[in-house]
Amino acid sequence: MIHPKARSSVWSALVAAGATALLGLVVLPAPLAAQEGAAAVQDVTVTDVVLPLGGTLLKAPKLTASGTRLSKDELAAILRPDSAVPWSERLARLDAGSLMVPVLTSENVGPGDNRQTVTYRDVVARDVRAGRVGELTAAGATVSVVSGPNRGSGTYGQLRATDLDLAALSRLYTVAGDGKGPIQRVYGTIQVADVTYADARGTTVKIASLNGRDLGGRQIPDGWNGAFAIVAGGFQDGTDRRAVAAASADLIEATTVGSLEMRGLSVSDADPKGPLLFEIRRVAYASEGPEAGTRLEDLSLSRGSLRTQLARLTLTGASLAPTVAALQGIAGEPAARAGFSDTEMRRLTPQIGNLTLNDLAIELPPEATPDHAPQRDGRVPVRGSGPEAARLNAGKPSDPKASEPRAGDPLAVTVVPQTGRRVALREATLAVGPPSDGVPSSSRLTLSGLSLPADLLAGQPIVGMLPAYGYRDVDLDVVADASVDAKARDLLVRDITVSGREIGTIRLSGRLGGIGPELLSGTLPAATLLMFSGSAKNLDLTVENAGLFERFLAAQAKDLSLKPDELRKEYVTASLLGVPIILGNGPAAKAIGAAMGQFVMKPGKLVLHAQAKEPAGIGFIDLGAARSPALVLDRLDVDARAN
């Protein structure tokens, strides 16, 4: 069984499974309250069975119990809707070789304008002993839904369940408990095949198969029926949120799932802007064992000429425990209130755990904007404002100097007619630590093998110039690792690294002070609060060149009609003399200028470390109000080195 703290987003699937059980299974044993000691084993048939169960009305025109010792009168007494004997007690006496219901209809009304009708065909329960069913099957079902002006319909293929405890099912839904009792397993296994549902708006959902194992739960104060009713009514204006929060927390904690697996999910939408198709080959959830967690395999999305594919998405270590704790806190409030504040919604966020994506590919449609449309000669303009972009865009086929880059030119760009473009990502991982007051205590994001067309970066600071420096595609690796020290109110940026093939690497780390939960309160913009409360304590910056500087130097040299070595010398002089003057000509400024000069002369690695002299750091408001860089550098211990 799953530990109550280990939950996942499969909650909605479990609710559907529980509803199916309530609507499709309770009616089956009800006419069969078997009692030992009846005269003989026989076949008994009852007709026109009508069972009101909360907002659901179950109808069976005919029900036959084979191999039972119950008489027809005893069955009729069990099926009386006003019987004083609890359902769980009646079902516990059920004993029959098989139960057969040719047609079983479930009618559900509410909330609001919602109406749902499910009709099951050829329902058979086999090996029914003491309220437990060895196997339950149905040939299929049809579904009709009306929600206000919206309508929908669908079908199920074959349904099969094993090891059903109908008495336990009845207790969970109708008998109150304290939420701390033993887990009661309702299903050993459940299988549903060939699900199709379509609504009037043109959306169609299909599922090839749905399988579950070890589904059950605990009894809760309002019973599951009562809790579902409270939660459904909680979306109405003016509802006391304490009851909604308590019922929601009870349902989450009471639900147990061993495993769920869905195969062949597809969602299609006949959107006027372009048909959409979303598909997942397999979705699986397991509460424990080597496959614990949630996995999605072979996802694809297409809309028009856009194509997206993802080989695998894995979520492990997720937990609804923070959500339950926040709901229980709201339920224990002394006074009634309505709605939820932004802070409370943040606290309701579950723990994410570890999320991994593998092999993402996005096929983008050809660029159709006017500034990237093919010219009359078939060439495609190159984005960017640098000299190479201007040369390629202005050149004509008859101008060999413009249309044919020289051999060895580091800015050489092959101009070809535009086709579909591709964004790819080999792997992405996100690890999020336990939340504190709704804020994760730590997080680490890594992107490996990110590849994209350089022109997608057009307009962005710094990287927007890459196309002008001869880059057609950009291959990147990214790391972002940070944690929060709630007691010290510090944000520790352990590592922010961006590495590009044939570009270089930039690495940043540091510590920021004055970072508290009030930044997410929503009362004032976070940027405003950060300006007044935040401070910089230390900073480490490392820049490694892997080809970008040479391309930059070549582009600037062409623009200025200089040789690259001539321009390099000018940059070295500007670094050694100009940078210190701009920064105040102090010791720190001279150290920075000297390091930059060495880097320009031999582009390798540039390292800068800055530490605030005051333990509290330098306030962001002081940094913004400083009249000169020298006033900031005087408050720092600086170490700058190159190569």
DSSP codes, 256-313 = EEEEEEEEEEEEEE--TT--EEEEEEEEEEESSSTT-EEEEEEEEEEETTEEEEEEEE
Query: Does residue 67 surpass a pLDDT of 50?
Result: yes
What percent of the chain clears pLDDT 70, i.e. is strictly above it? 82
Could you tell me the pLDDT band of residue 236, with boundaries at 50, 70 and 90?
low
The residue with tokens 């006949």 is 270
Helix 11-24 to helix 166-174 angle (10° resolution) is 110
Query: Does residue 167 surpass a pLDDT of 70?
Result: yes
Q: Are 442 and 483 in contact (CB under 8 A)?
A: yes
Q: Is 267 exposed, middle or buried (0-12, 13-18, 19+ CB in 10 A)?
A: middle
Least confidently predicted of 363-372, 391-400, 633-642 = 391-400
Segment of 9-23, 219-233, 315-329 carrying the highest mean pLDDT = 315-329
Tell me the pLDDT tens digit for each residue of 522-536.
Answer: 566 777 778 888 999
Report how far residue 356's alpha carbon sits from residue 335's, in angstroms, rounded to the nearest whole number: 42
Could you tell me the pLDDT band of residue 557, with boundaries at 50, 70 and 90?
very high
What is the Cα 248 distance to its own chain's centre?
Answer: 21
pTM of the model: 0.79
Q: Are 492 and 505 in contact (CB under 8 A)?
A: no
Q: Are 140 and 158 in contact (CB under 8 A)?
A: yes
Q: Are 268 and 203 in contact (CB under 8 A)?
A: yes
For residue 372, the model assigns a pLDDT of 41
Report how far residue 180's alpha carbon sits from residue 167's, in angstroms, rounded to the nearest whole number: 19
Tell me the pLDDT tens digit for each residue of 184-229.
Answer: 999 999 999 999 999 888 899 999 999 999 999 999 999 998 898 8
Residue, of 288 and 20, whose pLDDT is higher = 288
The set of residues, in sequence order, having a beta carbon less than 8 Å from that of 164 and lying 6+ positions away, is: 21, 25, 125, 132, 133, 136, 186, 187, 188
What percent of the chain clears pLDDT 90, i.e. is strictly above it? 54
Report how far residue 133's alpha carbon sits from residue 140's, in angstroms, rounded to the nearest whole number: 19
Report how far residue 125's alpha carbon sits from residue 63's, in angstroms, rounded to the nearest whole number: 11
Could you tell me the pLDDT band of residue 427, with boundaries at 50, 70 and 90?
very high
Query: Does residue 172 surpass a pLDDT of 50?
Result: yes
Query: Does residue 385 surpass a pLDDT of 50?
Result: no
Q: What residues are paired with 263 via a beta bridge?
A: 209, 282
Least confidently predicted of 236-245, 317-326, 545-554 = 236-245
Residues in the chain, overall count: 643
Strands 605-612, 636-642: pairing is: antiparallel
Residue, of 117 and 398, whose pLDDT is higher = 117
Residue, of 255 and 20, whose pLDDT is higher = 255
Report how far residue 562's alpha carbon sits from residue 392's, in angstroms, rounded to the nearest whole number: 20
Question: CA torsion 345→346→351→355, rounded to 10°?
Answer: 110
Structure tokens at 230: 């409270």
- Count CB-CB contacts under 10 A for residue 106: 24
Report how far residue 426's alpha carbon sits from residue 606's, in angstroms, rounded to the nearest whole number: 29
Quick one: average pLDDT of 293-317? 94
Could you tell me the pLDDT band of residue 8, with boundaries at 50, 70 and 90?
very low
The tally of CA atoms less than 13 A away on the side-chain side of residue 199 is 15
Least confidently predicted of 74-83, 135-144, 374-383 = 374-383
Q: Are 127 and 163 in contact (CB under 8 A)?
A: no
Quick one: average pLDDT of 53-78? 83
Quick one: average pLDDT of 265-290? 90
Residue, of 99 and 340, whose pLDDT is higher = 99
Query: Does residue 6 surpass a pLDDT of 80?
Result: no
Residue 612 to residues 193, 215, 491, 493, 602, Cα–Cα distance (Å) = 65, 57, 15, 16, 30
Report how far residue 340's alpha carbon sits from residue 346's, in angstroms, rounded to the nearest whole number: 10
Asked if residue 111 has a cis previous peptide bond (ω within 30° of 0), the answer is: yes
Query: Does residue 379 surpass a pLDDT of 50?
Result: no
Query: Does residue 594 surpass a pLDDT of 90?
Result: yes
Residue, of 102 and 347, whose pLDDT is higher = 102
Report how far residue 474's alpha carbon sits from residue 635's, in angstroms, rounded to the nearest whole number: 39
H/E stretch holding 140 reads strand 140-147
The residue with tokens 């804020």 is 439
Structure tokens at 392: 């390629």
- What is the pLDDT of the chain when averaged over all its residues? 83
Quick one: average pLDDT of 278-306? 93
Q: Are 62 and 98 in contact (CB under 8 A)?
A: no
Residue, of 435 and 592, whose pLDDT is higher = 592
- The three-class DSSP label of residue 416 is coil
Quick one: average pLDDT of 469-493? 93
Q: Are 148 and 189 in contact (CB under 8 A)?
A: no
H/E stretch holding 87 reads helix 87-92
- The three-class DSSP label of residue 334 is coil
The set of residues, in sequence order, having a beta carbon less than 8 Å from that of 596 and lying 6+ positions away, is: 575, 579, 606, 640, 642
Tell me the pLDDT tens digit for each residue of 13-46.
Answer: 333 333 333 333 333 333 333 333 344 688 999 8
The residue with tokens 């920021």 is 512
Quick one: average pLDDT of 502-507? 96
